[in-house]
Amino acid sequence: MEKKDYFEERTLVARYMKRMYDRNLTTISGGNISLRIDDERFCITPSGLDKGNLSADVIAIVRFDGTNLTPHLKLSIETEMHRAVLSKRPDINAVIHAHPVYASSFATAMPCQINTKLNAETYYILGEVANVPYRLMGTTDLAQIVAEHIKDHNALLMENHGAIAVGTELLTAFDRIELLERSAVMTVITRGIIGSHELSPEQIKEIQEMRGY
C-alpha cells in the first residue's frame, strides 16, 4: 500500500454507494463507483460486499496500469471499464454504474427511447443518452466499447445490462444517474398523458446554447 491511505476519497465513494443503494438505484450486489485520486490512481468499490454498508477501508485503490494497491480487497468486476472510462475522459473524475429499474428496462431496447427532452433541466444536465451494444459484463470488450461511447456523452445505457454516468465529481455523476432514472420514469408516465409533449426545436437550441454547444 502507498504512503497515503486516501481516506477522504474512499469515504466519499463509500458514502455515495450507500446513497445509491438507499435511493433504490441498485441492489446489494450490483453497481460500482469509482473516483479519480490523481493522474496515477483511482479508488473503486469492491466486489462481493454489501453495497449498502461499505466503509472507507474496503474501497480499493488501483493504479491506471491496472495494479491493485489494495491486494487484500477483491476488485469490482467492472474495474477495467472504470479504468478505461477515466482514461478516455481526463475531464471527468467520477464514474457511477448502476441498475436502476426503469433505465435498465429501457436498456433492453435500441436505439435509446428515454426522452430527456421532456424536461428542460434534465436535457440541460444529461443531453442525449446513447446505447452501448451488448458485451459480456466484466470483460475488456465491454470496457472498450463503453469508453468509446463515453467520449461524447455523460450518460449511457448498456444493452441488457444497466446504466453508467460520469461527472467532474461524484455529486455530478450521481445527479446524472438519478436524473436518467427519473427521465425513464417520465418517459413511461407521459406516454399515457394526452397532450404531453417534449421541448420544441427552438427550446432545445436555446438549452444547447446554454450548454455551450
Range of the domain at 178: 7-210
Q: What's the average model confidence in pLDDT over 161-181? A: 97
Closest CA to 62 of 32, 84, 41: 41
Evaluate whether residue 2 is within a structural domain.
no
C-alpha cell at 184: 425513464
Q: What is the pLDDT of residues 45-103, one digit of tens each?
A: 999 899 999 999 999 999 999 999 999 999 999 999 999 999 999 999 999 999 999 99
Split into its structural domains, the chain has a count of 1
Residue 115 lies in a domain: yes
Q: What is the pLDDT of residue 213?
A: 65
Q: Which helix (H) or strand (E) holds 8?
A: helix 7-22
Cβ neighbours of residue 201 closer than 8 Å, sequence gap 6 or more: none
Summarize the confidence of residues 174-190 as an average pLDDT. Answer: 97
Return phi, psi of residue 86, to 5°. Answer: -65, -35
- When pLDDT is averaged across residues 157-183 and rounded to a whole number, the result is 97
Burial zone of 114 (CB within 10 Å; 0-12 exposed, 13-18 middle, 19+ buried): buried
pTM: 0.94
Q: Kindly state whether residue 1 falls inside one of the protein's structural domains.
A: no
The DSSP-derived string for 131-189 is EE----TTSHHHHHHHHHHGGG-SEEEETTTEEEEEESSHHHHHHHHHHHHHHHHHHHH
pLDDT of residue 3: 47
Strands 155-158 and 94-98: unpaired
Residue 31 is assigned to a structural domain of this protein: yes
Query: Is residue 87 situated within a structural domain?
Result: yes
Q: Find the helix or strand (DSSP H, E) in which 82 lies.
A: helix 79-88
CATH number, domain of 162, equals 3.40.225.10
| Four-point Cα dihedral 179, 181, 184, 188, nearest 10 | -120
The angle subtended at Cα 177 by Cα 38 and Cα 148, nearest 5°, is: 60
